[in-house]
Amino acid sequence: MTANQRTADSRSVTMRVDGVVLHGDLQLPPDASGLVLFAHGSGSSRNSPRNRFVADVLVTAGLGTLLFDLLTEDEERIDLRTRELRFNIPLLTARLAAATGWVLEQDGLQELPLGYFGASTGAAAALAASCERPEIVAIVSRGGRPDLAAPRLPQVTAATLLIVGGNDHQVIELNRDALAQLQCEARIEVVARATHLFEEPGALAQAADRAASWFVQHFPVLEVAARRSS
C-alpha cells in the first residue's frame, strides 16, 4: 500500500440523480490532481476487482476515483434476468452525466479536473456523456465498445485514450474504426498478448499505468478552469 492509499479519504456516497439513488465509493488522496469517474462494463459493478485495481493505481498516482453503479439495485436484478439494461447506452449515458452533475455540486470535488474511465459498454456511455459534460477533460477506455456511441464520436472534445488487448482482435478493429471518427486528441494503445478482460499476468497493471499517465498528463488545473468559465 502506498502513502497516497494509506492517507486517502475513502468513503461511501449516495447520489440522488434523475429520480433514482445510485451508490458509490469515493477515494480522494491529499491534494488530488483530479477525479476520475468509473463507468463499468456490461454485467459488472462498482465491486469489480478489475476496476478497483485500476482505481488503486490511479490513487497511487495522486488521482481521486469514484466507482459507482449506473443501475439501481432493482434494475440490477432485472438486468441479471434480461440483460437488457446493460446495453441501454442512452440510459447509462444519462446516469453518468447526472452523476457528474452531482460531483459538480459537492464541496471538495467541484473544483477538481474531471475524467471518465470506461470499460466495455461503459466506455460508450463515457464518450457519449462527455458530449453533455464539457467539464470532462480526459477519457480512458479499457477494452471498450466505443462503436456503441458512434453517433456521438465526432462531438467528443475530451482527450481520449483507447486501450485494447493485443489478442482482442474484434475489439481492436472496433476501436480503430472509432479512432477514425474522433476529432479530438485521441490515441489507441495495444497491450500485447492481452485478451478482453486483461486477465493475463501484468496486463491489467499495464493498462492501469497507461490510464494514470493519460489522466495526469491531461489534468492541468488552469485548462479546466478556463473551460468551465468559457
Query: What pLDDT band is residue 220 in, cutting at 50, 70 and 90?
Result: confident
Reported as a pLDDT band with limits 50, 70 and 90, residue 71 is confident
pLDDT at 204: 97
What is the structure's pLDDT at 184? 98
Nearest CA among 68, 59, 67 for reference residue 9: 59
pLDDT above 70 for 213: yes
Using alpha carbons only, give the angle 47, 50, 51 rounded to the nearest 5 degrees.
60
Closest CA to 65 of 85, 40, 92, 41: 40
Model confidence band, residue 134 (pLDDT cutoffs 50, 70, 90): very high
- What is the pLDDT at residue 227? 45
d(CA 219, CA 214): 9
Higher pLDDT, 78 or 144: 144
Q: How far apart are CA 114 and CA 219, in angstroms?
A: 8
Structural domain boundaries of the chain?
A: 3-229
* CATH fold label, 3-229: Rossmann fold (3.40.50)
19: left (phi over 0), alpha (psi -120 to 50) or beta: left
Mean pLDDT across 24-51 = 87
Distance CA 83, CA 72 (A): 14
Span 76-129, pLDDT tens digits: 787 778 776 778 899 999 999 999 999 999 999 999 999 999 999 999 999 999
pLDDT above 70 for 161: yes
Helix axes 49-60, 203-217, angle to 10 degrees: 50
Average pLDDT, the chain: 90
pLDDT at 85: 75
Collapsing DSSP to helix, strand or coil, 117 comes out as strand
Rounded to whole angstroms, the maximal C-alpha distance in the chain is 47
For 39, 119, 124, 150, 173, the CA distances from 116, given in Å and listed in that order, are 7, 10, 11, 17, 22
Computed over its alpha carbons, how large is the radius of gyration of the chain? 16
pTM of the full structure: 0.91
pLDDT at 202: 97
pLDDT of residue 8: 84
For the residues 156-176, what does the mean pLDDT come to? 98
Residue 42 binned pLDDT confidence (cut-offs 50, 70, 90):
low
**Strand (E) positions, 29-132?**
35-39, 64-68, 114-119
